[in-house]
Structures are given as structure tokens and as C-alpha cells.
Chain A
Amino acid sequence: MSETLNRYRVSTRRSAELALLVGAWLIGVFAWILVDSATGETSLGGWTSLLSAGVLLLVTHGVVRWQAPYADPLLLPSVAALNMLGLAMIHRLDIAAEQRAISNGSPMPTPDVYLQLTWMLVGLVAFMLVLSFVGDHRRLQRFTYTAGFAGIALLFLPLLPFIGSEVNGARLWINFLGFTFQPGELAKVALTIFFAGFLVTRRHSLALVHNKILGVGVPRAKDVGPLLLVWFAALLVLILERDLGTSLLLFGLFIVMLYVATGRRSWVLIGGSLLTVGGAVAYQAFGHVRVRFDVWLDPFADANGTGFQIVQSLYGFANGGIFGTGWGQGYPQLVPFAKTDFITSALGEELGLMGLIAILLLFAIVVERGARAAVATRDPFGNLLAIGLTTVIGLQTFIVIGGVTRLVPLTGLTTPFLSYGGSSLVANYIIIALLIRISNAARAPEVTDAELVLRPAGDEND
């Protein structure tokens, strides 16, 4: 009886989540309708897609209600809105590809939006499975080294013969049963778990300071080992797979988590120096890095060659202006890889600066909510894991959008939840599932005496 009363005192906010989720779905529906009306597309396939996406989101909401009733109510609707916007833009680009095929008399291309919808299904199923099977995030700490090995394996899987494949110069895909998959996306989840588990046990020794240089505490030489290892792994990714984005993301992630775990700013300085050294060496040694950097400095120097992608992307943003051309009324198809790396410039053209600010605010909400879970959870592993996962989404968003807007050199990553690409979507939904799991633990009321008695012994680590 006291349990019921206790639960009533803390609002679960599930109804808010449901309302917001309906709102997120409606954003996608309206976007889709606008795309169809602007481009004169009349096929009814859209409604089936939209309804299945809606049903899928409802089922997911039901699972959250059941498995994580105290979860943060904003996380799922925010990423659902991003996912729906991404679907609408991929649909819009499908139409552009169709129109192009008609005018060229070439065979009709297969629309990508249905495949993306399938990946949304896979991603949300993964989300539900993670939420259901990871009843308590602290259990993940047991799998620290398993996750570490899995992460490394996934990261270097594309290097294996036969299943690994190279696309556009980067070797980061694998072919499996006719599907292509980017295992690096899943690797970042596994490695975040590994970093959190590893750092939470080593943080006290890593925080030790023996001497100071220029007033900054410097860690012991023998403690630099783990950082050097990650640095080396990131360099290997850069050299062997030519994947600048993942390389940068993993190293940045580790520095952030190291800083959070130890509270030592000196790690950030050391990490930053290693990053600079690695970057400088890579610039000197590798043509593909040099090209990316030079294009960043002056994309118009070779606007029809190496600078083509970024220049086209900038033209797209410029054409959008403040309010955008409107759904279906711009020319986002002129930007190469508009469905994947450059989806932001497609959205920027048709939705304008206002639309992009709204999208970036959605990412900011995800980051803020993830950080809130990180702060509120009561165990250090949970703190670290949550801020790590939040950093993955925030940093990846910055690296890719900064790249297509020429704020930073273009490195090639997918935009979380927006870009076409299954592995990215699945990995990011798993991240959100874990954040929701942690936020649920953070927001759930303190267990009552009655509950404590009911729970099996040995379930808690601390």
C-alpha cells in the first residue's frame, strides 16, 4: 500500500512523452505532405510508411511505459522528431532521384526511404530489447572488458578480407547477407561502455598528481598508457580505414570521459596535444587528410574537384537563407551524399536557418537530457556512461554539421537520427535506450523498505 502511494508521489510524465511523441510524428507527417504537394508526388505508399512509423513509435512508447516508467519524457520524442524529419528528407531526395531518372530516361532508382524505415524498425526493436534486457545499467559494468574487445573487433572488422568493403575511399563497411553495415557505429557504443567501466575503477589512480608543471598537475608517466593506447587505436582507424570522423570521435570521447572521471584538466591538455601531433603527422603523411584540410581552408580553390562537395553544400545553405525554400522546393539533390553526410545542407536549403536552429535545439535537448541523467544517477559508472553516451551524440553532431558548414574540416560521419544509414540509426537508438534506462534509475523514487526486501540479494554492486 505504501508502495503505491510512494509511486504516486513521483510523476512518471509518461503522458507528456506520449503527447510529444504524437507531435514528433505529426511533424514528420506534415513534412511528408508538404514534400508530396510541392513535388507533385501522388503515390499512396507514403501513408503506409507514415502509419507504420507511427505504430512503431507507439509500441516503443508502450515498452518505455512498461520497462522504464520513470524515464526522461523528452529523450524519445526528440530523437523521434529527428528521425521523422530525416525520413521526410530522404523521401524528398528519392523523388528528386526519380524525376532525374524520368528526364534522363534511365531506369527508376529504388527509393531509399523504405529501407530507412526498415532500419527505423530495427533500431526501435534494438531500443526495446536493450531497455528490456538491461534492467539495470550497472550490470553493464560487468561486461567492461567484453565490451572493450567487442568494440575493438567491430572497429577493425571492415579490414577483414571478403566481408570488409571500401566505399568512396574509406574502408568502414562490411557486407553481411546482402546488407552493408558500418560496425564502427556499434563500436562507439561498446567502447563507451568499456571506457566507463575501465575509468570508473582506475579514476583514483589516474587522478593522482605527483608534480606540477606551470601550475598544472601532471599525471604520472605510467598512467598515460591507456590514453596512448586509445590514441594509437584512433590513428590506426585513420590510417587503415581512412575514417577521420570515427577516429576523431573516439579520441575526443575518451578525453572527455577521462576528464570527467579524474577531474584533471591536464588530461584535456595532454589529449589536445596528442590530437595536434596526430593531426600534424597525418597531414604530412596522408594525402586524404591533406586534401580534407586544404579544402577546409579554401574550398573554392578547386570548386569542381576536391572542393565540390563542400562548395555545393554551401550553395545549398545559401539558397535556403533564413526561412528556406520550403519542403520540395529547393535543389538539395545537387549536393553529393545529400541523404547521408550532407543531409544537414539539404535540410538547411529547404527549411532555412530557422529550421536548422530548431533541429540543433532538438540535439541540444537530447544533450541536456542525457547530461541530466548523468548528473542525477547515483552511481559513478552510471555518471560516466551517461555523459559518455551524451558526448557521442553531441560530438558526432558537431563534427558532421561543422564539417558540412566548413566550421571544421569535413571528416565524414552520419548525422545522428537524420542521415540515411542503418548502422548509425540502430547504434543511436541503442544509445538513447541506455540513456533512458539511466534516467529511469535517476528519476525513480528511492526504493522503499518493502521493495528492498523483495529484491534478490546481490543485485546491487555498491
Chain B
Amino acid sequence: MIRQINRVTAAIVVLLLALIINLSYIQVFKAGDLRGQAGNQRVTLTEYSRERGPILLASEAIAESTPTSDALKYLREYADGSTYAAITGFYSVVYGATGIESEANNILAGNDSRFFVDRLQQLFANREPKGGAIRLTIDPDAQVAAMKALNGRTGAVVAIDPTTGAILALASSPSFDPNLLSSHDAGDIQANYEELNADSDQPLLNRPLAMTLPPGSTFKLVTAAAALESGNYVADSELPGPKQINLPGTDVQLGNWNDKACGAGDVTTLQSALEISCNTAFAWLGMELGADAISEQAQKFGFESEFDVPMTAAISRFPADPNKPQTAMSAIGQFDVRATALQMAMVAAGIANDGVVMNPYLISQVLGPDLTVLQNTNPSAFGRAMSVENSKILRDMMVGVVNNGTATKAAISGINVGGKTGTAENAPGEPAHAWFVGLAPSDQSKVAVAVVLQNGGGATEVSGNSLAAPIAAAVMRAVLKQ
């Protein structure tokens, strides 16, 4: 009997050992897999148990975490949420995070390796772990002015500091209140999200970064830049500017928006063609320069490239291998040319910054939990788009557009504002998109701006001026503190 007892004991000990081996497998080798499972709430709960760092403007916080008494220990709150929604994004238990909340999550949540020392200190000091903070490049005056000027109409505004690429305003309209999605009530969040998602105006869409539209006549800036850079044209170069031209190989007659010739004897200059937004002159110019030259110039401004601001912007496109009539249409920003508001602001910024295009960015500083600066963003150049001289010529031409041409509503008294309007045809029968791209002041670049109102107005250049230009003026005034 003794031998049997010993065997049974050994068997039970083996069973207990099997438990330990199995537990080691689950808690050590399989733990990572299990933590990553979609339905595992613990990851979220752990994230919410730590004080998430704030998203800051120059001084005030636009997103911060406040302690609660429920299971998720901190609630994410957005001050003036709908003004900054396109930047902050939301931070939701149900739908995850978007915008800066998502892109800078490692810093805000305190998971970044740079916080290792902080974490150790917190551990030993028995302090609650806390995430780092993000400071943005956004100028609150410009952002508020942009949102106010958009006034709920579907559209986007981007303002950039041309010398650095720092984004001063990034506005998407209509907007939403991220607080609606960042509560701790899953049912509420779901209901709110479904309502926002079902809205035909798409408030959740980040228009300045994600929406690409035909840029219309604002693209003439790129064509003009290509003409100047070719070395064959100056501001006074004469171009044919008839009432309408035939697109070669087709029956299509391309006309001007005002149904008039662009100058006496059907002749105009590059300067004048830009001022009055002459379609026939730029279509002819496009065919003369060729698709490759325009495409190359567009790429120098950032077309065909991906920009992470840190949210990844949609890539702006110039059509590949267009035929002659397609090239003519592309040269005036129609056909298959597509650009984001960010891209068009970069075009203006490149012209403003003596021809150098800077990489756009939103995060100016990464801060530790105690708000000490861990990292300053160093502005970086994307590349040179045009020579210093040509950029000066094009800036002066743009000032002419505002002072003598189609963009009079962008003028700010006492400041030389340069700009270009655009009215991009949409699908037949639908209202066109109204654009404005501008810079100010023209002699010492402080701000470049792009405004687009989706399906904003009628078919004439007037709408770019009447609808989009005043918004740009309001934003530029806010930046220049005028």
C-alpha cells in the first residue's frame, strides 16, 4: 500500500507541475498574443488608468484628461472641441483614436521609450504614471478665425508659416465635438458616432488633409511657375488669349469664364492672364510647356508625395501621360488634377518662401509629463520649387491678382496680399468648388493660406473671390494680428 501511496502522490505532484507549465505558457509565452486580442478590454483599461498627457497650443490645453470616479479612471476632455477636432481627433473607448490623439499616442499615453527614466522615477516615488504632452504649431486666432469664417459650410482651410512649414490653422467644416465620442458611455458613443457617420455633410471627414478636389484656376500658379522656370517666359511675355480655343484633335472649344477675349487683339501677357484667370492663355501655355514640365513643377511643390503632419495627408495628383487636350485642361487645374487644401497651401508657401517648400508639420514640441521640453521640431525643407527671382516675380503677379484682378476680396489694407482664385468644375450639373490660395505679406512671407468651399458656388471665378477669398483674408489678418 505504501508504494501505491507514493505513486499516487507523485501523480498528483505531476498534475500540479502540469498546471505550472501550462501557466508559464499562458503568462509568459502566450501573454503578448492574448493582450493583443481584439476583445481584450484590459489594454484599454490600462491606458485609461494612466493620466494621458494634454495636447497644448502655445499656452492653453485643447485636450486633457481629468480624473473620474468610474472604472476608466480618466476622462478625455476637449476645450472648444469642434474648433480643433480636425487636429486633435478623438480618443474613444469604442472607436479608438484619430488625429493627434492617435499619431502621438505613444507620447500622450507615456509608452514612448523616451519616458523610460520618468517611468522609473514614478515607480520609485510611487507616483501615478502620467503621459507626456504635445505642443502644436496651431495659432488659435487663425484657427478660430478660419472656423468662424467657414461658418458651417462644407470646406477646408489650411494656413502655413511659409518659412518653417508650421501649420497655423487646419480647419475642417462642418466639424464635430470630439467630447461626444470620448465619454465613457459606450452606448452614447456609439449613438453619437452613428449619427455623425450618417450625416451627409461628413463631419468626421478631415477635409484639409483627406479630401482631394480639382484645384481649378489656383493650379495656374503651378503652370505659371513652370513657365517662369522654363526660362522662356517672364511676367510680360505675350500669350494668345482668345475668347475660346479649340482643343487639338477634339471638337471641344475651351472658353474663358467671362466669355470674353483676354486682351486686345486676342493677346495677353502672363501677368495679365493670371490676374484675370485667362483659361485660353493658360491652356495654350500648358500645351506649349508640355505635360512633363508641369508635372515636374507640381511634384516640386509636393504633388505625388506623401506628407505626415503627422497625420498622413492624401496624395495630390497630376495626371500621368495626358494627351494634348488633357494637358490643356490640366494646366488650368481641371481634368484629373486633384489636390488637398494642404497641398495648395504648400504651393503658396513655396512661392512665399523664395521658392523653397518646407515640410508641413503640426507638432512643435514633445514635452515630458512635467512639461519639460524633450524635443523641438526642426523645420525641414521638402525642396526648392523655383528660383528666388522667379518666386519674387510670381509673388508680384499674385499681388496683381488681388489688387487688379479676380481676388479683390482678399485684400487687407496696408498689406501686400498675393493670391489666386479658383472655381473648379465638379461633375456636370453640380455646383463648383470655390478656391482661394494666397500669401501675405508678399515681401516678407508670414503666412500662406488655402481655402476651399466644396460645391461652394456658381460657375464663375467670381465665386472664388466672393466666397473663398474673404475667408482667407480673415485667417491672414488673424495671423498678422491685423
Contact = CB atoms under 8 A, between A and B. Distances in A.
The answer to whether A and B come from one shared complex is yes
A315 interface: yes
Interface stretch (B25-33, B172-180, B378-386, B443-451): B25-33
A405 B19 contact: yes
A311 B39 contact: yes
B312 interface: no
A331 interface: yes
Interface stretch (B8-16, B135-143, B153-161): B8-16
Interface stretch (A28-36, A106-114, A277-285, A395-403): A395-403
B4 interface: yes
A263 B8 CA distance: 11
B42 A357 contact: no
A322 B8 contact: no
B5 A383 contact: yes
Contact of A322 (B12, B27, B30): B27
Q: Is the interface of B mostly helix, strand, loop or mixed?
A: helix
A170 interface: no
Given A320-B27, A331-B45, A348-B23, A380 B1 contact: yes
B347 to A, nearest CB: 51
Contact of B26 (A99, A263, A314, A363): A314
B259 interface: no
A383 B3 CA distance: 11
Contact of A260 (B1, B26, B68): B1
Nearest to A367: B12
A374 B5 CA distance: 7
Contacts of B9: 367-368, 371, 387, 390
Given A318-B34, A371-B5, A371-B9, A402 B19 contact: yes
Contact of B13 (A356, A368, A384): A368
Nearest to A361: B16
Contacts, number: 135
A387 B34 contact: no
Given A263-B4, A371-B9, A380-B1, A360 B26 contact: no
A338 to B, nearest CB: 13
A371 B42 contact: no
A153 interface: no
B6 interface: yes
Interface in B57-90: 68-71
Contacts of A390: 9, 12
Interface in A223-264: 256, 259-261, 263
B15 A348 contact: no
A406 B3 CA distance: 32
- The CB with the most chain A CB atoms within 10 A, among B13, B19, B35, B68, is that of B19
A367 B16 contact: yes
Number of chain B interface residues as a range: 35 or more
Contacts of B24: 353
Contacts of A356: 20, 23, 27
B5 A387 contact: yes
Nearest to A401: B19
A415 to B, nearest CB: 11
A318 B8 contact: no
A318 B30 contact: yes
Contacts of B16: 360, 363-364, 367, 394, 397-398
A135 interface: no
B27 A348 contact: yes
B39 A263 contact: no
A331 B72 CA distance: 11
A153 to B, nearest CB: 28
Given A353-B27, A360-B20, A383 B1 contact: yes
Interface string B183-200: 000000000000000000
A334 interface: yes
B37 interface: yes
Interface in A354-411: 356-357, 360, 363-364, 367-368, 371, 374-375, 380, 383-384, 387, 390-391, 394-395, 397-398, 401-402, 405-407
Contacts of A383: 1-2, 5
A435 to B, nearest CB: 13
Interface in A314-335: 314-322, 330-331, 334
Given A318-B30, A318-B31, A303 B5 contact: no
Contacts of B35: 315, 318-319
Interface string A305-317: 0000001001111
13 contacts: A259-B8, A260-B1, A315-B42, A322-B28, A331-B41, A356-B20, A364-B16, A375-B2, A383-B1, A387-B9, A398-B16, A406-B22, A407-B19
Given A311-B37, A319-B46, A387-B9, 12 more contacts: A103-B71, A260-B1, A261-B1, A318-B34, A322-B27, A322-B28, A356-B23, A394-B15, A394-B16, A398-B18, A402-B18, A402-B19
Interface of B: 1-6, 8-9, 12-13, 15-16, 18-20, 22-24, 26-28, 30-35, 37, 39-42, 45-46, 68-71
The 6 lowest CB-CB distance pairs between A and B, nearest first, are: A103-B70, A318-B34, A394-B12, A371-B9, A318-B31, A260-B4
